[in-house]
Amino acid sequence: MRVLVTGAAGFLGSHLVDRLLREGDELLGVDNLSTGDEENLAHLKSDPRFHFERRDICHPFDPGPVDYVFNFASPASPPEYLRLGIETLRVGSLGVENTLQIALRHHAGYLQASTSECYGDPLEHPQTESYWGNVNPVGPRSVYDESKRFAEAMVMAYQRTHGVNTHLVRIFNTYGPRLRPGDGRVISNFMMQALCGEPLTVYGDGSQTRSFCYVDDLIEGIVRLARSDEHLPVNIGNPEEYTIRQCAQAVLEATGAQSELRFVDLPEDDPTRRQPDIAKARELLGWAPRIGLKDGLQRSLEYFQRKAAVAQR
Ligand code: UDP
The CATH architecture annotation of domain 2-174+214-236 reads 3-Layer(aba) Sandwich (3.40)
Q: Given ligand 1 and candidates 170, 185, 201, which is best to mutate, with the most ligand atoms within 8 Å of its CB?
A: 185
Alpha carbon separation from 86 to 77, 80, 96, 217, 280 (Å, rounded): 15, 11, 15, 31, 33
What value does the mean pLDDT take over residues 126-142?
A: 97
Q: Quick check: 182 pLDDT over 90?
A: no
- Whether the model clears a pTM of 0.95, i.e. scores above it, the answer is yes
- Nearest atom in ligand 1 to the alpha carbon of residue 79 is 19
Residue whose CA lies nearest to ligand 1 atom number 11: 203
Q: Please write the tens of the pLDDT for every residue from 232-290.
A: 999 999 999 999 999 999 999 999 999 999 999 999 999 999 999 999 999 999 999 99
Q: Which of 228, 217, 223 is nearest to 291 (CA)?
A: 217
Pick the CATH number of 176-210+240-275+291-311 from 3.40.50.740, 1.25.40.10, 3.40.220.10, 3.90.25.10: 3.90.25.10
How many other CB atoms sit within 10 Å of the CB of residue 182? 12
Whole-number mean pLDDT of the chain?
97
CA of 209 to the centre of ligand 1 (A): 9
144 catalytic? Reply is yes
Residue whose CA lies nearest to ligand 1 atom number 19: 185
- Numbered ranges of CATH 3.90.25.10 in the chain: 176-210+240-275+291-311
Q: Quick check: 93 pLDDT over 90?
A: yes
The CA distance from 111 to 189, in Å, is 29
Q: In terms of DSSP bridges, do strands 234-236 and 261-264 run parallel, antiparallel, or are they unpaired?
A: unpaired
- Numbered ranges of CATH 3.40.50.720 in the chain: 2-174+214-236
pLDDT of residue 28: 98
What value does the mean pLDDT take over residues 133-148?
A: 97
pLDDT of residue 85: 98
- Nearest atom in ligand 1 to the alpha carbon of residue 267 is 11
Q: Quick check: 55 pLDDT over 90?
A: yes
Q: Given ligand 1 and candidates 173, 244, 264, 273, which is best to mutate, with the most ligand atoms within 8 Å of its CB?
A: 244
Residue whose CA lies nearest to ligand 1 atom number 12: 270
Options 68, 110, 144, 158, the catalytic residue: 144
- Which residues contact ligand 1 via a Cβ below 6 A? 77-78, 173, 184-186, 189, 201-203, 208, 210, 244, 267, 270
Element (H, E) at 3: strand 2-6
CA of 135 to the centre of ligand 1 (A): 17
Q: Quick check: 177 pLDDT over 90?
A: yes
**Residue ranges of the alpha helices (H) in 163-292?**
186-195, 215-226, 244-255, 279-285
- Nearest atom in ligand 1 to the alpha carbon of residue 78 is 19
CA of 121 to the centre of ligand 1 (A): 13
